[in-house]
Amino acid sequence: MSSETSSSVLPPGIRTFKPRRGRVTQRQEAGMLDGRDYFIEQPTGPLNLNSALPGYDDIVMDIGFGTGEATAQMALDEPRMAILAVDVHTPGIGDLLHRCAHTPLPNVRVMSADALEVLTSLPEDSLAGVRTYFPDPWPKARHHKRRLVQQPVLDLMASRVRAAGFWHLATDWAEYADAMQVEFDAHPMWAGGVITRPDWRPKTRYERNGLSQGREPIDLMYTRVSP
């Protein structure tokens, strides 16, 4: 499952992720060392994407990449597209950095940060798209305020994703998929809905575990439209 965001975009104290550090394996520790050239420190000011990922016209942000297997595969499949991969889960960051270093994946950069803070630091219209696969559904009603897909986040995302750009999401929580559609439908700068699962989206370990338990994934694709 993804680890995502908390930020001043949302009310004080509201986080859309549970901080999970976990045990770091030797492989993950080695990945953090071997893949250090792929790692970006969170800046105190604006993030210069042209400096971080020079030579790419299209940059996609992956929010909450888990172990990084889907991010790595899509980076291989689309070498002309750069990926800014953001998560807060230390073992997963080690996994993805290991993949970056040993594949290698020159079109990927990794950040350990709150994704909303990263988005806030980016220039307007700087992203070709965003991908968020299996974010925390926060199923209890009292926790719905922690869900990633809500109006303040849609506002921020619409300002950072350029016109005709996309936000691709996947969830295996049907109620959350319905709630996502309600939020997107209420926003004037996003258009789209549920789509057939694309063949090019790699299956993640979380998704495979869900399928083995009878949870079917639901993909949603939204396009950023002009105001």
Whole-Å CA distances, 109 to 48, 75, 165, 203: 12, 11, 20, 21
Pick the catalytic residue: 62, 95, 114, 136?
136
Distance CA 101, CA 34 (A): 6
66: left (phi over 0), alpha (psi -120 to 50) or beta: left
Six-digit token string for 147: 């869900």
Distance CA 98, CA 32 (A): 7
Give which of 33, 52, 29 is closest to 41, Cα–Cα. 52
CATH of the structural domain 26-224, one choice from 3.90.550.10, 3.20.20.240, 3.40.50.40, 3.40.50.150: 3.40.50.150
Indicate if 37 belongs to the active site. Answer: no
Share in percent of the chain as helix, strand, coil (round to 5): 35, 25, 40
- The pLDDT value given to residue 136: 86
> Could you tell me the pTM of the whole model?
0.91
pLDDT digit string, tens, across residues 30-45: 999 999 999 999 888 9
- Whether residue 195 has pLDDT greater than 90: yes
Domain positions in the chain: 26-224
pLDDT digit string, tens, across residues 159-176: 999 999 999 999 999 999
Based on the number of CB atoms within 10 Å of its own CB, is 99 exposed (0-12), middle (13-18) or buried (19 or more)? buried
Provide the 3-class DSSP secondary structure of residue 169: strand
